[in-house]
């Protein structure tokens, strides 16, 4: 009579004496098995990070920057009063004098208002233009030469045109900020429309959504991160870089109100 056949499942359910001996006798066991669980157990626990580590390293970077600034201004100043005026030990007194004259808050609010107005105009123009470029291929092909050419024009190059057409004041500065910020917003909006999943539009169309409803419920929510990225790039790289024309506008206003011709670069108070 032959012995009953044992399946692998029976062997797992009913361990043999050899298995029991291997569990009880350490000398008969092999090396520790390697695996995710064993490696995770052998890995030391990570050390808890202090919440002050980030601010401490940031403060260290500021101190290093001030030290390099101090060393450079003292080493390179020599007989130059221009470089000596930028020494870091003179900064507290200069900042205090600005607050005493009351120009910091006023100029800061004026510059912030101009920048926000310029970004609003750029967003109002860049988002629709980006939707058209990203949605319609023929419009993208038709507008590509003009858009690419205008993108390459420096925003500061529009300063004489802005002053000639809009005069001095807030209008030319808002125009220059909008001219600098409209292209990052436009390109990021077009990229967001191009990255939109066509299946989402097909599902909305199958459910009977009108083009306006598809735009409101599918397209705009999907491209929102792209638009915000464009606004952030416009604020950081183009918006603040257009602060130089504010001084140009102040210089033009000074030259216009002056009774004598301007023979050099006028020294005027600029709103940064």
How much is the pLDDT for 94? 84
* 93: phi then psi, degrees, rounded to nearest 5: -65, -40
Report yes or no: 269 and 184 within 8 Å, Cβ to Cβ. no
Rounded Cα distance, 143 and 132, in Å: 10
Q: Report the alpha-carbon distance of residue 74 to residue 68 in Å, rounded.
A: 10
Cβ–Cβ under 8 Å, residues 133 and 139: yes
**17 or 260, which is more confident:** 17
Radius of gyration of the chain (CA): 34
Given a cut of 50, whether residue 87 has pLDDT beyond it is yes
Between CA 266 and CA 198 the distance in angstroms is: 57
Cα separation, 66 vs 60, whole angstroms: 10
pLDDT, average across residues 131-140: 91
pLDDT in tens, 215-245: 899 999 999 999 999 999 888 765 455 555 5
The string of pLDDT tens digits covering residues 95-118 is 888 888 878 888 888 888 988 999
Give yes or no for residue 7 having a pLDDT over 70: no
Nearest-angstrom CA–CA distance, 245 and 223: 32
23-32, 56-65, 261-270: lowest mean pLDDT where? 261-270
pLDDT at 52 over 90: no
The CA-based dihedral angle spanning residues 213, 215, 218, 224, taken in that order and rounded to the nearest 10 degrees? -140
Quick check: 186 and 130 in contact, CB under 8 A?
yes
Q: What is the mean pLDDT of residues 61-73?
A: 92
Average pLDDT value for the chain = 76
What tens digit of pLDDT does each residue of 166-220 get? 888 888 889 989 988 999 999 999 999 999 888 988 898 889 888 889 889 999 9
Question: What end-to-end distance do the CA atoms of the chain give, in Å?
Answer: 102
The three-state DSSP-derived secondary structure of 125-188 is: HHHHHHHHHHHCHHHHHHHHHHHHHHHHCCHHHHHHHHHHHHCCCHHHHHHHHHHHHHHHHHHH
In which band, very low, low, confident or very high, does the pLDDT at 15 lie, cut at 50, 70 and 90?
A: very low
């Amino acid at each position: 009579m032959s012995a009953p056949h044992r399946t692998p499942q029976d062997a797992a359910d009913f361990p043999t004496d050899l298995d029991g001996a291997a569990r009880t006798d350490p000398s008969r066991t092999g090396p520790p098995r390697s695996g995710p669980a064993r490696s995770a157990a052998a890995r030391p626990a990570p050390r808890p990070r202090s919440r002050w580590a980030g601010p401490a390293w940031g403060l260290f970077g500021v101190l290093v920057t001030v030290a390099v600034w101090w060393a450079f201004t003292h080493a390179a100043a020599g007989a130059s009063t221009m470089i000596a005026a930028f020494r870091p030990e003179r900064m507290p007194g200069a900042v205090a004098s600005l607050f005493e004259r009351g120009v910091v808050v006023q100029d800061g609010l004026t510059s912030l208002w101009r920048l926000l107005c310029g970004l609003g105009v750029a967003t109002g123009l860049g988002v629709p233009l980006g939707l058209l470029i990203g949605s319609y291929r023929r419009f993208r092909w038709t507008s590509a030469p003009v858009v690419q050419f205008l993108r390459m024009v420096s925003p500061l190059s529009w300063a004489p045109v802005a002053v000639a057409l809009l005069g001095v004041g807030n209008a030319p500065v808002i125009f220059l900020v909008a001219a600098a910020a409209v292209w990052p917003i436009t390109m990021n909006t077009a990229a967001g429309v191009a990255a939109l999943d066509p299946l989402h539009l097909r599902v909305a169309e199958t459910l009977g959504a009108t083009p306006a409803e598809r735009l409101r419920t599918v397209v705009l929510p999907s491209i929102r991160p792209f638009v915000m990225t464009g606004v952030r790039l416009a604020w950081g790289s183009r918006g603040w870089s257009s602060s130089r024309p504010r001084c140009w506008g102040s210089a033009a206003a000074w030259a216009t109100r002056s009774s004598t011709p301007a023979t050099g670069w006028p020294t005027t108070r600029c709103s940064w």
